[in-house]
A = this chain, B = another copy of it.
Amino acid sequence: MAKLTEIARQAGVSVSVVSRVLNGDPTVRAREETRQRVLQVAKELNYTANYAGRALRLARSKALALITPNVSSPLFADLLAGATQAAEEADYTVLIGLADTITAGSDTLRRLVGEGRVDGFVLQRHDDLSDQALESLVANDARVVLVTSRTPGRRGSVVLDDVTGAKLATEHLIALGHKRIALIGGVPHSDIARRREHGYALALHEAGLRRRESLVCRLGYTPEAAERAIESLLGTGARPTGVVVANVNGAIGALTALRRAGVDVPSEISVVAYHDEWVAEHTWPALTTVKMPYYQVGLQAVRSLIDQLGGKPAQDLVVREPKPELVLRSSTAPPKTA
């Protein structure tokens, strides 16, 4: 690879001039002619700045890590795409870290920033990771932006408009005429789960429907949890006619459990899922979902993190645009008139 010295030699100037010209330093004092020559030689030699040299000098890696509990979700793909876009705009590189290798005692995150490999984190925490556990993972002065979840304190965050999204899903069932609507939500201590439950409750309240505690399950977002939730809901005396599942993977599990129990969807029970992904189109029946703007979350999170690195205070943002969108498929229908 061509180095600065090489370009300087061929252009007949000193390295400092080359560096300044290439970085567009406004304080450079060089004739236009010289500037062009430098640019020309750099292009000919196909120059790319050595990353280590720059990072060493600037004490900045211009890289950030996106930490997630699971990469294998189309939702994460969206988030990643947004993050990558924002990073590119600011000439940053995105590393991806898997949170399941980052257990409580792990110092992976500390090392990442300690070694200067990354300047900061965008962190999507697992539902089970408490605020304290989170703090124990990252160095005190590390720059962090949490996505989809919040944490009290000085870390930044970018979350979805969970209230509106969950409300939209619930309102869809209400509009169809459902009165007994269950919620299969996240684990109780999660702030995400609380917001979604709030949206659900809000929709019921505004429609003048009673919210029954027996219709709310809080077992988590996995298909297995949703299967157990369905079993429990079917066991109760007054079955729901509609179910809001606060996660699309859970909804897939719910469909499986309902099928196994011989309950037809949507004629006996309607199911609407929070989050949209391609597989929702291929379930049986195809899932009606609420699509949330994950791309935007990734985009904002990285922008916010870069702002933070630039010295601005951490922010807590809510992504409201584009708005949550109902994707109508075949898993919802009016309830059978009793």
Contacts and interface: CB of A to CB of B under 8 A. Distances in A.
A70 B61 contact: no
A230 B181 CA distance: 38
B61 A52 contact: yes
Chain B CB count within 10 A is highest, among A70, A110, A117, A252, for A117
Contacts of A270: none
Interface in A32-51: 46, 48-51
A179 to B, nearest CB: 28
Chain B CB count within 10 A is highest, among A52, A96, A116, A279, for A52
A117 B51 contact: yes
Contacts of A80: 71, 98
A49 B112 CA distance: 11
Interface stretch (A196-204, A253-261, A300-308): A253-261
Interface in A239-263: 252-253, 255-256, 259
Contact of A283 (B52, B111, B284): B284
B114 A1 contact: yes
Contacts of A61: 51-52
A157 interface: no
Interface string A40-76: 0000001011111101100001010000001111101
A81 interface: yes
A282 interface: yes
Interface residues of A, number: 45
A107 to B, nearest CB: 9
A81 B101 CA distance: 9
Interface in A273-329: 278-279, 281-284
A72 B79 CA distance: 11
Contacts of A331: none
A93 interface: yes
Contacts of A175: none
| Copies of this subunit | 2
Nearest to A63: B117
B56 A53 contact: yes
Interface in A147-192: none
B49 A115 contact: yes
A51 B114 CA distance: 9
A90 interface: no
Given A111-B48, A223-B278, A282-B252, A76 B84 contact: no
A73 to B, nearest CB: 6
Nearest to A73: B72
A77 interface: yes
A95 interface: yes
Contact of A259 (B116, B253, B278, B284): B284
A111 B55 CA distance: 15
Nearest to A255: B282
A256 B49 CA distance: 51
Contact of A282 (B72, B114, B253): B253
Interface of A: 1, 46, 48-53, 55-56, 61, 63, 70-74, 76-77, 80-81, 84, 93, 95-96, 98, 101, 110-111, 114-117, 223, 252-253, 255-256, 259, 278-279, 281-284
